[in-house]
């Protein structure tokens, strides 16, 4: 009888190995995508939770000071005129130049919980836990994760040549929907003046932008202490470009200009403050959305997943694409009465230098 011997394979063929490797690659890619999405969701939740706490502090400030909105900006000369002094948790006085922006006014109402405003920074936050932030006064003043709607809530106060502190656009006029020119009322100085708290933006993720187009934005971009709507008075500051229209932008257009840092200094006047942010044109590519900045200023930042994180005056948090933020009613009370389309609302820049400003608490 003839015995037939059968050969047994001692391994995989190259084709089989390639198939296994390919399947493993697909599974790893799916796992990586899932973990990445979960990570973004977690960070988004954390940012919104921080914003919720900031909102509670903002309301506490108003409750303490007879419903007054937290002032957006107070230059050094106006601080002196108002005789206001700001201190850290240990009672050390904050330098006036570091009290121009909102953080050191709001931190006492947050029990000096610095991570709520600065957790995105790659610094040793535990050393700030005593509420003192020794050596970090300037960073605390200028680089919070969230910018305040400083022009249209609480007011942007500067010393005028007449010798009085004056709120920016305090007497600027605008045309109402029945074609009547109204002067003043552009800025809400009390919470009760806000017509639609559920729609009014108090804080937004923001950054100091030089003129240019920003398609790709990093989660750890340095924040700014204020944020402005896309149109301020009659000046177009920024414009949203969400969608597929910018898919054709070529990477070769990139100009590697650095973002300006608010840490470079904040001067006494609005003009000087804005001038310190000026920089070269910048185009960043990637993703399917963009923000075009025409005038150097602090503008909304898409910190996570192409969304800006928002806090509204009623305490609710939200995320938004940039094009939705071009509705001026989200930033300016008077836009509800204007005779323009909500996106096109504008007003005069006139400032009455003879009118004395009033203190809004300390």
Digitized pLDDT (tens) for each residue of the chain, 362 residues in all: 555 555 555 566 777 677 777 777 777 666 655 555 556 678 878 889 999 999 999 999 999 999 999 999 999 999 999 999 999 888 889 999 999 999 999 999 999 988 899 988 866 666 666 666 767 888 899 999 999 999 999 999 999 888 888 999 988 899 888 888 888 899 999 999 999 999 999 999 999 999 999 987 788 899 999 999 999 999 999 999 864 343 343 333 333 343 334 334 333 344 444 434 443 333 333 445 789 999 999 999 999 888 899 999 999 999 999 999 999 999 999 999 887 788 999 998 864 443 444 434 44
User: Measured between alpha carbons, how far is 45 from 227 in angstroms, rounded to an integer?
Assistant: 21
In a domain, 37, yes or no: no
Give the three-class secondary structure for 322. Answer: helix
In a domain, 35, yes or no: no
| pTM recorded for the entire structure | 0.77
In a domain, 17, yes or no: no
In a domain, 32, yes or no: no
Token readout for 185 is 């009322």
In a domain, 352, yes or no: no
In a domain, 31, yes or no: no
Structural domain for 207, as ranges: 42-344
DSSP string, 29-63: HHHHHHHHHHHHHHHHHHHHHHHHHHHHHHHHHHH
Length reported for the chain: 362
In a domain, 354, yes or no: no
In a domain, 256, yes or no: yes
User: How many structural domains compose the chain?
Assistant: 1
């Amino acid at each position: 009888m003839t015995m037939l011997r059968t050969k047994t394979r001692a391994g995989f063929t190259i084709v089989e190995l390639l198939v296994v490797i390919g399947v493993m690659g697909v599974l790893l890619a799916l796992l990586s995508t899932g973990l990445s999405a979960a990570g973004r969701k977690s960070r988004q939740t954390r940012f919104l939770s921080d914003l919720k706490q900031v909102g509670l502090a903002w309301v506490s400030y108003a409750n303490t000071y007879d419903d007054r909105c937290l002032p957006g900006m107070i230059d050094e000369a106006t601080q002196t005129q108002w005789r206001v002094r700001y201190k850290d948790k240990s009672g050390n006085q904050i330098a006036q130049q570091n009290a121009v922006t909102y953080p050191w006014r709001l931190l006492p109402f947050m029990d000096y919980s610095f991570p709520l405003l600065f957790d995105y920074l790659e610094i040793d936050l535990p050393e700030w836990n005593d509420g003192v932030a020794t050596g970090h006064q300037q960073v605390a003043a200028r680089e919070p994760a969230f910018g305040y709607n400083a022009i249209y809530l609480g007011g942007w106060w500067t010393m005028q040549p007449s010798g009085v502190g004056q709120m920016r656009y305090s007497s600027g006029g605008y045309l109402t929907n029945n074609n009547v020119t109204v002067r003043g009322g552009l800025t809400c100085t009390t919470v009760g003046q806000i017509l639609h708290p559920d729609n009014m933006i108090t804080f937004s993720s923001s950054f100091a932008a030089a003129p240019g187009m920003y398609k790709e934005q990093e989660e750890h971009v340095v924040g700014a202490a204020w944020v402005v709507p896309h149109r301020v008075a009659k000046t177009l500051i920024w414009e949203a470009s969400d969608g597929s229209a910018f898919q054709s932008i070529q990477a070769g257009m990139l100009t590697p200009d650095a973002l300006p840092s608010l840490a470079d200094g904040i001067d006494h006047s609005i003009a000087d403050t804005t001038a310190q942010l000026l920089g070269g044109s910048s185009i960043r590519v990637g993703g399917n959305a963009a923000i075009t900045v025409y005038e150097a200023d602090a503008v909304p930042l898409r910190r996570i997943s192409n969304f800006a994180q928002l806090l509204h005056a009623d305490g609710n948090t939200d995320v938004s694409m940039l094009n939705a933020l071009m509705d001026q009613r989200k930033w300016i009370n008077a836009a509800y009465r204007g005779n323009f389309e909500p996106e096109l609302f504008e007003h005069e820049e006139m400032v009455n230098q003879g009118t004395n400003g009033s203190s809004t608490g300390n």
